Amino acid sequence: LPSSGIVSGGAKVIGTGSATSLVAGSSTAVTATNQADVFSFTPSAARALIANTQITINQFDTAKDKFQFDLTTALGVTTLAALNGVDGISVQSDPFAGSTVVSFGADANGDVVVLTLAGVTTPASVIVEVV
């Protein structure tokens, strides 16, 4: 690190938006900010639980926001539509509800692990980074 030119005065935020971990076993809705947000999710953790994971993401902006999924298949950067059929993922657009539903298979209780993107009907426009 350089010894000069460093600004002091507390923690700084690098970049914009926020990183939000979607909690396995949660059914709490999440709302994107006005900045570029990253929503991270580990499906295997949700499938291992008995608690239901059914999270709705509101105000997801396909031009700025993205997902980061921890999957056994390493694909790098792709789209939500391209993940349909990968690692048991099912992606469906619901034009009647105006949303996209992403199913990750059953959890330990037999319930389906689901993320719903409210207001998004084009899964091909949703960027996903697979780690």
Digit-coded pLDDT (tens) for 40-51: 999 999 999 988
Measured at the alpha carbon of residue 70, what is the angle toward residues 113 and 19, in degrees to the nearest 5? 90
Q: Given pLDDT bands bounded at 50, 70 and 90, which one contains residue 16?
A: low
- How far apart CA 89 and CA 26 sit, in angstroms, is 19
Q: What is the pLDDT of residue 13?
A: 34
Q: Given pLDDT bands bounded at 50, 70 and 90, which one contains residue 114?
A: very high
